[in-house]
Amino acid sequence: MKILMLGAGGVGGYFGAWLHEIGGDVTFLVRPKRAEILSQQGLIVETPSQTIRIQPQLVTKDKLQHRYDLVMLSPKAYDLEDALETVREVPGNPLYLPLLNGFDHLKRMDDEFGRERVMGGVAHIAAELTDKGIVRQLNALHRITFGIRHACQEPLAAKLAKLTDQAAFDNVYSEDIEQSLWDKWTFLATLAAMNTLMRANVGMIESTEFGGQAMQRMFEECCSIAEKSGFTISEKVRAQSLEILRKENSDFTASMLRDLESGYRTEHEHIIGSLLRRGKQAKLDCPSLQLAYTQMMIRELKKS
Check whether residue 183 and residue 231 sit in a common domain. Answer: yes
Q: How many CA atoms lie within 13 A of 123 on its CB side?
A: 23
Check whether residue 86 and residue 207 sit in a common domain. Answer: no
DSSP 57: E
Q: Which of these, 255, 270, 263, lies nearest to 129 by C-alpha position? A: 255
Task: Return d(Cα 60, Cα 73) in angstroms, integer.
Answer: 15
pLDDT over 70 percentage in the chain: 100
In this prediction, residues 146-174 reach a mean pLDDT of: 98
Task: Return d(Cα 142, Cα 74) in angstroms, integer.
Answer: 14
Q: What domain count does the chain have? A: 2
Q: Convert 226-263 to b/e letters by CB count within 10 Å (16 or more is b).
A: beebebebeeebbeebbeebbeeebebbbbbbebbeee
pLDDT over 90 percentage in the chain: 98
Q: Give 103-157 pLDDT, tens digit per residue.
A: 999 999 999 999 999 999 999 999 999 999 999 999 999 999 999 999 999 999 9
Check whether residue 237 and residue 279 sit in a common domain. Answer: yes
Residues belonging to the chain: 304
Catalogue the E-assigned strands of 165-208: 170-173
Q: Domain with 129 in it: what CATH number? A: 3.40.50.720
Check whether residue 193 and residue 143 sit in a common domain. Answer: no
Check whether residue 143 and residue 13 sit in a common domain. Answer: yes
Task: Return d(Cα 301, Cα 304) in angstroms, integer.
Answer: 5
Q: Give 29-64 pLDDT, tens digit per residue.
A: 999 999 999 999 999 999 999 999 999 999 999 999
Check whether residue 20 and residue 169 sit in a common domain. Answer: yes
Q: Domain with 198 in it: what CATH number? A: 1.10.1040.10
Is the per-residue pLDDT at 4 higher than 90?
A: yes
Q: Give 195-211 pLDDT, tens digit per residue.
A: 999 999 999 999 999 99
pLDDT-based confidence at residue 304 (cuts at 50, 70, 90)? confident
Residue where one domain finishes, among candidates 175, 209, 233 = 175
Q: Which of these, 61, 63, 2, lies nearest to 27 by C-alpha position? A: 2
- The dihedral formed by the CA atoms of 267, 269, 272 and 275, expressed in degrees to the nearest 10: -130
Task: Return d(Cα 291, Cα 83) in angstroms, integer.
Answer: 31
266 phi and psi angles, rounded to 5 deg: -120, 165
Residue where one domain finishes, among candidates 156, 175, 194 = 175
Q: What is the 3-state secondary structure (H, E, C) of 69-90?
A: CEEEECCCHHHHHHHHHHHCCC
Check whether residue 57 and residue 105 sit in a common domain. Answer: yes
Residue where one domain finishes, among candidates 117, 141, 175 = 175
In this prediction, residues 257-264 reach a mean pLDDT of: 94
Is the per-residue pLDDT at 177 higher than 90?
A: yes
- List the domain range (segments joined by +) for residue 217: 179-303
Check whether residue 169 and residue 243 sit in a common domain. Answer: no
The Cα-based distances of 273 to 86, 103, 168, 264, 276 in angstroms read: 26, 12, 34, 18, 5
Q: Give 95-107 pLDDT, tens digit per residue.
A: 999 999 999 999 9
